[in-house]
Structure 1
Amino acid sequence: MQSIDWIILIGTLLFIVSYGAWKTKGSKNVTDYIKGGSEAKWWTIGLSVMATQASAITFLSTPGQAFHSGMGFVQFYFGLPIAMVVICLVFIPIYHRLKVFTAYEYLETRFDLKTRTLAAILFLIQRGLAAGITIFAPAIILSAVLGWNLTMLNIIIGVLVIIYTVSGGTKAVSVTQKQQMAIIFAGMFTAFFIILSYLPDDITFTKALKIAGASGKMEVLDFSFNLENRYTFWSGIIGGTFLALSYFGTDQSQVQRYLSGKSIKEMQMGLIFNGLLKVPMQFFILLVGVMVFVFYQFNASPLHFNPQAAEKIKQTKYAEEFKKLEDKHKEIEVLKNAASLSYASVSEVDFVENLEIKKQIQKVNKLEQNNRAEAKELIEKAKLDVETNDKDYVFIHFILHHLPKGLIGLLLAVILSAAMSSTASELNALASTTAMDLYKRNVTVEKSGAHFVKASKWFTLGWGILAILVACFASLFDNLIQLVNIIGSIFYGNVLGIFLLAFFIKFVKSNAVFVAAIITQAIVVMGWWFDWMPYLWLNLFGCGLVMGIAILIQSIKKK
């Protein structure tokens, strides 16, 4: 990194922190601090909701996911627009009418305190873990690629977020997220057009898509009912809808974003705006990853994208074997380059030649995949203390090795801004839930509004420190974006089922729901542990299970 990159990176982060703290200083009451004074307009809500979900994991993992597996991951988001409509019609009117500070307040109104407390605790567990991961995700990758100290990075990201989130609460989160989304969109669009400009002169965008398609990267829709496939049209529409309903309808980190709306109409418009823009946004980020794949059809790529892994194995007894795999990788790249150029130059009407070269591309890609898999196995065999799965390192490798000066700083600012925006929302929601659902509800002595604002700030600080500790002791999973969604899927279905019982099944009472929720959570954790189904289906499974058990218990009790 050059001096200009450091200036852009540090300047961007300091501007966000100082602007957020200055713009929102002096929240005197709970409504201002937790609900942002209920002044947010629809576009602020929409961008804030989007920024909360679009963590650094999105911009690190998603392009890497597309590089390896293609565009199919976009199906994960197909249920989101459906969920937005349901939340606008059902959830928002109830929350607005009751003037709640958190989603879980409603559960006490409908059931009782123990049900409210249980739902709040389930949220605190899963979101507390997720907050640590959203810090850890960019930190571990930047640490591996740039050589920065991992623990120090975790602390820096966490402290920057804590400063303005403690200072200004919900309004600080919403205000800074608008700036962060502007930086994110600017950075990703810039990266996309630069990738296209780096392709050979005769490779247009259309030809790039053709090459990607020949390699199986443009297969967006999978209508199969195969449960072995994590991402299909049906898992996205059904499982994705239930996950989105749970996340946007019952997760306080999202609910708090639209509870800050000026009116019920502003809240609904904000969510519809998110629903319309989210799928195209994810499609575009995946497309960036596919274009990175096309770029590496014509340019040298490392055998393993995690530089730490490649460096460490060269210091072991497996160094010679790894060197042979690297040499083979270079030979494959020559074949890959020639095949891609040939395929791009063939006329569309020449079906026979198109098919022949397409088969050649697929054969070369298979060789490359097998070679990379051998390298991964070798690194695992060496038992090095490094991450062998390099999906999350693909995009950052491209940024650091191929973007011009200045833009490296901008893209790193994108990644860290995304980490900060998502973490800020999570800390804000964790503190609000702790303050309002656990602390305030169980304080017997009357306290002033200023007291609960101060308590919320202390809880924000406490959750921030805990998130940093989780980040410092975390370990990388298969793919970071999947890890966050897996954690959510373990808890979300159960919580959503509780809310749906509250909304629609009026004869079910609190004790039946409470017992059903505990039983369901144990079964869902067991189902995940023993891999009964792809994790997206856990949302539907948990939701249906808690509703079925609660209805059964209530029916037996009634008889």
Structure 2
Amino acid sequence: MVLSWIDWTVLASTLLLIVGYGTYVTRNNKSAQDYIKGGNTSRWWTIGLSVMATQASAITFLSTTGQAFSDGMGFVQFYFGLPIAMVIICLVFIPLYHRLKVYTAYEFLENRFDLKTRSLTAILFLIQRGLAAGITIFAPAIILSIVLGINIVYLNIIIGVLVIIYTVSGGTKAVTVTQKQQMFVIFAGMLAALFITLNLIPDEVSFTDALDIAGASGRMEVLDFSFDLENRYTVWTGIIGGTFLALSYFGTDQSQVQRYLSGKSMKQMQMGLIFNGLLKVPMQFFILLVGVMVFVFYQFNPAPLNFIDASTEKVLASEYGDEYRTLQQKQNELFTKKKNLSLALSSSEDEAVYRQLSMLDSVEKAYRLESKFLIKKTIDKDYTKSYNNLKKEVEKLKTNPESEAYKTKLSELNTLYTSAAKDTQTNDRDYMFIRFILNHLPVGLIGLLLAVILSAAMSSTASEINALATITSMDLYARNQKEEKDENHMVKVTKLFTLAWGIIAIIIACFANLAENLIQLVNIIGSIFYGNVLGIFLLAFFFKYIKGNAVFTGALITQVIIIIGWWYDWMPYLWLNLFGCALVMIITHLIHVFTKKQN
């Protein structure tokens, strides 16, 4: 799609103003205190917005809205543990960090245990956050590259270079001051998107009617109190797994710790985190609501079977083109029925209409899955071959439907069929919102919302490479020097590490690949490492008799087990945070007891 000059002007001016402002305001940072901790001048509202901006990457807006469009509001439960974690961090973590006047969270671990435990924890952070930094660049780049027709490598480089300019120049303070402007752009853009979306829905459909239509299709089911471990998002996974994830992320992840360590006082740090805790869940609810309203919009306006135009073009030009066109025709007929039922629902509360809408939504989901299957067969010949071979085996065994062989092969066939929905070129959840923006929003607002997406990408990436550079310079470089280095040397070294990590993030972005859902991918990467790191900190806080050797060995063993558990899908990824935290504490205690007996 070709953007108008107005949209390009809004987009470019917004981004350049943010970069220019951040570079100019922080141009005189000369000491390590100024560069790494922002001179400890941040007020609580700046800290709160900076913490939110660090977490609210482009993935938040692209994937969360797509998640709501496909599955509804239930994803908000993921954040239920965050306010609890904020209170714990304010009471336990912040007083300790403030009293010790640390530059990084991991300095404390050397004081409590030893250098190798500090280094191990820092390296675990560098691995997971380095990967995440690349993904926060890659997420908007791959989507914008497809919808705007710009080479993805160029977009990765543009986003990365813009971030590097002001982050290298001004360090932590540059990240913090620019994030205030970025959050303003984000809030303004998302509010505008909601109001415009509601305005595009037919006049006779009120906001309450829109919620009813979404509810009839299962999109307004916010709370799930079940204890089903197969269900990723429930109240319990949010409160328990989410609390441990948030404790690890906000309490031990340097990209977040560095945001509040820049606070003017301990009280300002604590108020900043409480502000984040109070605002984060409503903010995520609001973003999900935007996705749900886009879903309602498409009940009155035709929607594509798949939101990735390039994939649709490929399948239409293939041997499966006729099947796909037939599917499009079926969806068009279904759309007419859904539109009439949605209008009927807005003027009555007939339970039969609710049931029919729910049934038609299930049919449409089946059509969308079928479209993904056809696209997958078009782009992956090996997949087609595997599917055809399995299908032949199932047909042969069909004469004995009660046999275990038949049931096994049928299950494998169904699994292979549904796996098509997770392919890079078929999984269109992350494209839904951007496609809606480009096709249906007015000129000017398109540029603003593209600026929202890129601003969010820049704010998260800036925080990440700033934290990566700080950990590398303070926890690995400075700590392993025989002679203490002066302030100017440490600022120069940290700037070099910032540049290096920015380049590494761009390289990772260029070689990254999409997962089933980008926001899940980031949280999965975090969950693999965060529980272990949190357990190390809890051992340091509350078990004074535990020594460094036991913790170091226990952490290594735990990390191996967690990776194996994730690989073999032992549990939903959110539970890995609790599992990893508990496991490292148990293994460390066992090693401590065994070592004590040996001695």
Give the TM-score normalised by the residue count of structure 1.
Answer: 0.98
Structure 2 counterpart of 1:123, from 118, 122, 125: 125
Q: Distance in 1 between matches of 2:310 and 2:130?
A: 29
**Which residue of structure 2 aligns with residue 509 of structure 1?**
547
Alignment of 1:547 onto 2:585: yes
**Which residue of structure 2 aligns with residue 266 of structure 1?**
268
Alignment of 1:138 onto 2:153: no
Structure 2 counterpart of 1:379, from 375, 378, 391: 375
Q: Equivalent residue of 2:379, what SS? A: coil
Q: Equivalent residue of 1:382, what SS? A: helix
Q: Distance in 2 between matches of 1:436 and 1:523?
A: 29
Alignment of 1:478 onto 2:505: no
Q: Which amino acid aligns with 2:198?
A: L
Deviation track 1:186-216 (CA, whole Å, cap 9, x = no partner) reads: 0000000001111111100000001111111
Q: Which amino acid aligns with 1:171?
A: K
Q: 59-68 or 323-332: which moved more?
A: 323-332
Aligned positions of 1:388-407 closer than 5 A: 388-407=426-445
Deviation track 1:354-396 (CA, whole Å, cap 9, x = no partner) reads: 2111111011111111001000011111125952111001100
Structure 2 counterpart of 1:452, from 478, 482, 490: 490
Q: Which amino acid aligns with 2:362?
A: K
**Which residue of structure 2 aligns with residue 430 of structure 1?**
468
**Which residue of structure 1 aligns with residue 412 of structure 2?**
none
Q: Which amino acid aligns with 1:293?
A: F
Alignment of 1:538 onto 2:576: yes
Aligned positions of 1:232-311 closer than 5 A: 232-311=234-313
**Which residue of structure 2 aligns with residue 164 of structure 1?**
166
Aligned positions of 1:205-216 closer than 5 A: 205-216=207-218
Q: Equivalent residue of 1:475, what SS? A: coil
Q: Which amino acid aligns with 1:267?
A: M
Structure 2 counterpart of 1:360, from 345, 356, 359: 356
Q: Distance in 2 between matches of 1:443 and 1:291?
A: 56
**Which residue of structure 1 aligns with residue 47 of structure 2?**
45
Structure 2 counterpart of 1:439, from 448, 458, 477: 477
**Which residue of structure 1 aligns with residue 536 of structure 2?**
498
Q: CA deviation at 1:315?
A: 2.2
**Which residue of structure 2 aligns with residue 558 of structure 1?**
596
Unaligned runs of 5+ in 2: 381-422
CA contact (8 A) 2:315 2:321 kept: yes
Q: Distance in 2 between matches of 1:302 and 1:150?
A: 24
Q: 387-396 or 49-58: which moved more?
A: 387-396
Q: Equivalent residue of 2:227, what SS? A: coil
**Which residue of structure 1 aligns with residue 506 of structure 2?**
468
CA contact (8 A) 2:424 2:513 kept: no
**Which residue of structure 1 aligns with residue 223 of structure 2?**
221
Q: Distance in 2 between matches of 1:128 and 1:382?
A: 34
Q: Distance in 1 between matches of 2:314 and 2:443?
A: 28
Deviation track 1:96-118 (CA, whole Å, cap 9, x = no partner) reads: 00000000000000000000000
Q: Which amino acid aligns with 1:41?
A: R
Q: Which amino acid aligns with 1:162?
A: I
Q: Distance in 2 between matches of 1:540 and 1:296?
A: 39
Q: Which runs of 4+ in 1 moved over 6 A?
A: none
**Which residue of structure 2 aligns with residue 351 of structure 1?**
none
Q: Distance in 1 between matches of 2:469 and 2:528?
A: 22
Q: Equivalent residue of 1:118, what SS? A: helix
Q: Which amino acid aligns with 2:503?
A: I
Alignment of 1:337 onto 2:339: yes
Alignment of 1:98 onto 2:100: yes
Cα RMSD of the aligned pairs, angstroms, is 0.8
Deviation track 1:68-91 (CA, whole Å, cap 9, x = no partner) reads: 000000000000000000000000
Q: Equivalent residue of 2:83, what SS? A: helix
Q: Distance in 2 between matches of 1:418 and 1:474?
A: 19
Deviation track 1:475-515 (CA, whole Å, cap 9, x = no partner) reads: 11000000000000000000000000000011110000000
CA contact (8 A) 1:253 1:430 kept: yes
Q: Distance in 1 between matches of 2:330 and 2:494?
A: 58
Q: Distance in 1 between matches of 2:355 and 2:183?
A: 41
**Which residue of structure 2 aligns with residue 518 of structure 1?**
556
Q: CA deviation at 1:550?
A: 0.5
**Which residue of structure 2 aligns with residue 14 of structure 1?**
16
Q: Which amino acid aligns with 1:16?
A: I
Deviation track 1:236-261 (CA, whole Å, cap 9, x = no partner) reads: 00000000000000000000000000
CA contact (8 A) 1:308 1:386 kept: no
Give the TM-score normalised by the residue count of structure 2.
Answer: 0.92
Q: Which amino acid aligns with 2:359?
A: K
Alignment of 1:488 onto 2:526: yes
Q: Distance in 1 between matches of 2:93 and 2:198?
A: 43
Q: Distance in 2 between matches of 1:223 and 1:217?
A: 16
Q: CA deviation at 1:445?
A: 2.4
Q: 361-370 or 123-132: which moved more?
A: 361-370
Q: Distance in 1 between matches of 2:336 and 2:365?
A: 15
**Which residue of structure 2 aligns with residue 328 of structure 1?**
330
Q: Percent identity?
A: 71
Q: Which amino acid aligns with 1:490?
A: I
CA contact (8 A) 1:5 1:407 kept: yes
Deviation track 1:392-441 (CA, whole Å, cap 9, x = no partner) reads: 01100110000000000000000000000000000000000000000000
Q: Which amino acid aligns with 1:358?
A: Y
Q: Distance in 2 between matches of 1:327 and 1:451?
A: 67
- CA spacing shift, 1:386–1:111, aligned 2, 3 Å: closer
Deviation track 1:272-312 (CA, whole Å, cap 9, x = no partner) reads: 00000000000000000000000000011111011111122
Q: CA deviation at 1:446?
A: 2.8
Q: Distance in 2 between matches of 1:173 and 1:447?
A: 25
CA contact (8 A) 2:73 2:288 kept: yes
CA contact (8 A) 2:424 2:515 kept: no
Q: CA deviation at 1:328?
A: 1.2
CA contact (8 A) 1:57 1:480 kept: yes
Q: Distance in 2 between matches of 1:366 and 1:87?
A: 43
Q: Which amino acid aligns with 1:550?
A: T
Q: CA deviation at 1:26?
A: 2.0
Q: Which amino acid aligns with 1:147?
A: G
Q: 89-98 or 20-29: which moved more?
A: 20-29
Aligned positions of 1:144-223 closer than 5 A: 144-223=146-225
CA contact (8 A) 1:248 1:254 kept: yes
Q: Which amino acid aligns with 1:374?
A: E
Q: Distance in 2 between matches of 1:25 and 1:433?
A: 22
Q: Distance in 2 between matches of 1:519 and 1:387?
A: 37
CA contact (8 A) 1:309 1:386 kept: no
Q: Which amino acid aligns with 1:365?
A: D
Deviation track 1:452-496 (CA, whole Å, cap 9, x = no partner) reads: 100000000000000000000001100000000000000000000
Unaligned runs of 5+ in 1: 349-353
Q: 335-344 or 534-543: which moved more?
A: 335-344
**Which residue of structure 2 aligns with residue 30 of structure 1?**
32
Q: 73-82 or 378-387: which moved more?
A: 378-387
